Structure 1
Amino acid sequence: MTPMDNVVRFGPSPEVVKQAIHWTLRLRNNRANLRLYAQCEHWRKAHGDHELAWQRVQALQQELNSQLATIPGVHRALENSAQGLSRRQALKTLSGVLVVGSAAWLSRDVSGWQRWTADLATATGERRSVQLPDGTRVQLNTDSAVDLDFNVQQRMITLLRGEILVTCGAASSAPLLVQTRHGLFEGIDGRFAVRQASDCTRLSVVSGNVAIHSPHQVNGLSTQVHAGESYLVRQTGALLAPPLEMDIGAWADGLIVTRDMRLADFLAEVGRYRHGYLGCSADIADLRLSGVFRLEDTDKLLAILPQTLPVRLRYRSRWWVSLERSA
């Protein structure tokens, strides 16, 4: 038995996802072909991964359609251009529209294509908790994706994007590792959060200990991070981070718990859980707020702010919300 025989795989393979995309495009261009629908149904029932890939593609297509519909002319252009194109051409056109429409609020969701092939993933505003075969619990925050590689030699979680909260035990012959583009983290019987941004990864330890392994550490030594500590890890090294103005991991319970947090920073955090633009004018950016806020409905969350701060909400559309100082 090879090591790969022991790998625990989660989710459909990239090839299966491509097949689901091709079926979607074929049906889209042949809506009256009942035989083709029957063939697609047969393919979906042939394997559990086929149905899972199909559902993921349909969900993401609906999400993209709802977003593109808010951009004048883009959705209609996509529909018109798809007629008569081959599957490869249609897929290329769809990708091109996403790039053309990559305004700041939409570009974040272009990476949603990554959710098709990740072992575990969440959409914007979604949270997910999964217990792995070894007993490790991984909780994914909004718009996050991970790949898993568990075998007799190692237990590896690769954070592709977003944030995870990991709860692990010490009873295992193989170390539990979390890999990001900035470093490698080894969990040692505890609970810790890993959040990957474009320029760095933030490690926050709730309990237990975590070792940061970096090729740039002096003499190849690792940095030991203890409960209550946070580090910012870049490819050049790891530095102790200042305390956060919100509770680590409260999002796993559907909450944001703040302590004297800047309004601009708070809105940036809430914006991770909704589509579109969310911001405030510069003259109120430094207002402070503390409290417990529920993430299940961000519109209701925002409606609370004028009750405690001298601000008012301005909705230009469902996807564009700004806060201004109240008169």
Structure 2
Amino acid sequence: MLDLKVLEAAAQWYVDLRDDGSQAHLQQAHQQWLERDPRHRQAWARVQKLDQTLAKVEPVVAKPLLAGIHSNRRDTLKVLSVLLMTGGSGALVWQLTPWQQLKADYRTERGQRRSLNLDDGSQLTLDTNSAVDVRYSAQLREVQLYSGQILIETAKDQLARPFIVHSAQGSIRALGTRFLVRSDGERTQVEVLQHAVEVRPDAVPEQAVHVSSGQRLSFSAQHAGTLEPARPYADAWSRGLLVVSDWRLADFLTELSRYHPGHLRAAPAIADLRISGIFQLKDIDGVLDNLATTLPVRVNRFTRYWAQLEAR
């Protein structure tokens, strides 16, 4: 099995040769590196396979990484190394894990949470499997959400700079507030816990929507969506809890899966059972065992990470 250091070296050679591969001494040094260790050839084979993959994916996806070779070599090497660890065929991984997410300022893995105190005193909490960039300038305070969910509590800024969260679908401007933003696939959801925000979809920024405390809005890049009541205890995850009231069991397990490094599902026969309660996200195995004592279900664990609830 190839270790990370060998893959990082292969990524370094890829960047160097792409940047200045016409130099004879560089090509000779690369050949000597290949001949020094069989693992080097294996790693380089992954590089070549990855290069073929990048040639096939959409330019809008591949171009930012290749452009980064000249603008930010450290970030590019980091992304290449991660992709090489997947085997170099990474088209699927590439699409599911965008390069921006891999090199984001702040990230959490599945099941992790992270709280940050920003420079202006605002607080930012990342939910499971989330990634953000934070950019403060003389004019703006900006957070770019690439994936996952965040909880923001803005502080009063001495420079009176607007606080804006960007997602793939649009922007959310805080109006002195505490709010949640969640990005899933083609939609972004905002839930306001205090005060208000202003939402602008990317394709129709003139369709600004005012979302007040106790309201939520799900929007796409083309459509602003409809205001709905916010969910009770929507921010419970920031305290390590999942609070549900009369949820379908299948929906409950889908949400619980976001915090579990594996696969959870309900058999079709019990998918519509209803569930309410407060559950600890740090002990998902305990949650499943508890369900087996309170519902007519049993837990079938196929592996450590794959479990299915079935009728008893």
Both structures adopt the same fold (TM-score exceeding 0.5):
yes
* Cα RMSD, aligned residues only: 3.0
1:175 to 147, 151, 162: 162
- 1:301-320 matches, within 5 Å, as 301-320=287-306
Q: Distance in 2 between matches of 1:214 and 1:113?
A: 23
Q: Does 1:189 align with 2:176?
A: yes
Percent of residue pairs bearing the same amino acid type:
32
1:130 equivalenced with 2:130 (yes/no)? no
Q: Note the alpha carbon deviations across 1:128-158, whole angstroms, 9 max, x for none.
A: 0001001111100000000111110111100
Stretches of structure 2 that go unaligned for 5 or more consecutive residues are 11-37, 51-83
Q: 1:198 to 1:314 in 2, by over 3 A?
A: same
Output the amino acid matched with 1:179: H
What does the per-residue CA deviation read over 1:25-78, in whole Å, with 9 as the maximum and x for residues that have no partner?
A: 26999xxxxxxxxxxxxxxxxxxxxxxxxxxxxxxxxxxxxxxxxxxxxxxxxx
Q: Aligned partner of 1:275: which letter?
A: P
Establish whether residue 235 from structure 1 lines up as the match of residue 226 from structure 2: no
Counterparts in 2 of 1:23 and 1:289: CA distance versus 1, 3 Å: closer
Counterpart check, 1:146 vs 2:146: no
Partner of residue 203, structure 1:
190
CA contact (8 A) 2:192 2:230 kept: no
Q: How does 1:1-327 map to 2 (within 5 A)?
A: 24-25=5-6, 83-85=39-41, 88-90=44-46, 92=50, 94-96=85-87, 99=90, 111=97, 116-171=102-157, 172-217=159-204, 220-240=206-226, 242-243=228-229, 247-326=233-312
Give the residue type in structure 2 aligned to 1:265: D
Report the alpha carbon displacement of residue 84 of structure 1 after superposing the two structures with TM: 3.3
* Larger RCO, structures 1/2 (Cα 8 Å, 6+ apart): 1
Q: Gapped runs of 5+ residues in structure 1?
A: 1-21, 30-81
Local SS of the residue matching 1:252: helix
User: Post-superposition shift, 1:242?
Assistant: 4.5
Q: Displacement of 1:111 after TM fit?
A: 2.5
**1:239-286 CA-partner distances (Å, limit 9, x unpaired):** 225556662110000000111111111100110011121101112111
Gap change, CA 1:28 and 1:155, over 3 Å in 2: closer
Answer yes or no: is the 8 Å Cα contact 2:193–2:214 preserved in 1. Answer: yes
Residue 189 of structure 2 aligns with an amino acid whose one-letter code is: R
Partners of 2:242 and 2:171 in 1: CA distance: 27
Shift in Å, 1:235: 1.2
Distance 1:311 1:111, change over 3 A: same
| Counterpart amino acid of residue 190 in structure 1 | T
Instruction: Report how many residues are paired.
Output: 249
Q: Which amino acid aligns with 1:147?
A: D
What CA distance in whole angstroms lies between the structure 2 residues aligned with 1:261 and 1:123?
A: 26
Q: Indicate the residue corresponding to 2:21 in structure 1.
A: none
CA separation of 1:227 and 1:86: change in aligned 2, threshold 3 A = same
State TM-score, norm by structure 2: 0.72
Q: Give yes or no for contact 1:245–1:259 (8 Å, CA) kept in 2.
A: no
State the distance in 2 between where 1:247 and 1:124 align.
21
Which residue of 1 is the match for residue 56 of structure 2? Answer: none
Is the deviation greater in 237-246 or in 273-282?
237-246
- Displacement, 1:114? 5.6
8 Å CA contact retained: 1:25, 1:90: no
SS of the residue corresponding to residue 256 of structure 1 reads: strand
Read off the aligned partner of 1:212 and give its amino acid letter: V
